[in-house]
Amino acid sequence: MRWKKIFSMKLFAVTTIIVMGLIFMASPVSRTLLPGNPEVWAAEAKTKAPEKDAATSPKKLPLLIDIGQKKCAPCDTMAPILEQLKNEYKGRLTVVFINVRENSSAVEEYNIRGIPTQIFYDASGKELGRHLGFISKEQILQSFKKFGIEFKNPEQKTR
C-alpha cells in the first residue's frame, strides 16, 4: 500500500516536470535564454542582408515603427501624422506602420504591451526608445531630438 503512494507521488512529480519543461521550451522566453536554439539561428540567418559595397548600398535612415491596428481610435488618429512624416521627411526618416490584425506575430516579435506603440530606432538599427499611446508629430520629432537625432524643418532647403 505504501509503495503505491510513493509511486503515485513520483509519477506526479515526473509528469509535472515534463509538462513544465514542454511549456518552457514552447515559450518565447526559452528562445532568448537558450543560445543554441536552431530557430534563433534560422531567424538570424534570414534577417541578415548580404554584404554590399558601401557606395552602392542604400543609405540607412532613422526608423519609426508604429504598431497598431485599424479601428483603434488612437491608431486612426495617428495615421495622417505618420503619412505626413513619411512624406515630409522622405530620404531622412523611414516610417513604418504594422497592423497587428494582419501581422499578429509582431506583438511577440516587438514585445508589444498595448497599441499604438511607437518604437524609435537610429540609423544603425539600435532601438532608442518606445512610446505607448497617441503621440503628436511634434512629440515624435522631439523624441528623436532627445535621442540625438534632429531633423531640419522640411521647408528649409539643404544647400
Catalytic residue among 63, 72, 106, 141: 72
- Would residue 62 show up in a list of annotated catalytic residues for this protein? no
The per-residue b/e assignment along 88-104, b for 16 or more CB within 10 angstroms, e otherwise, is ebeeebbbebbbbeeee
Q: Which of 132, 98, 106 is nearest to 118 (CA)?
A: 132
Out of 75, 78, 119, 135, which one is annotated catalytic?
Answer: 75
From CA 159, how far away is CA 151, in angstroms rounded?
A: 15
Residues 100 and 19: their CA atoms lie apart, in Å, by 30
88 is catalytic: no
Q: In what order do the strands lie in the sheet with 94-99?
A: 94-99, 63-68, 117-121, 127-132
State the catalytic residues. Answer: 72, 75
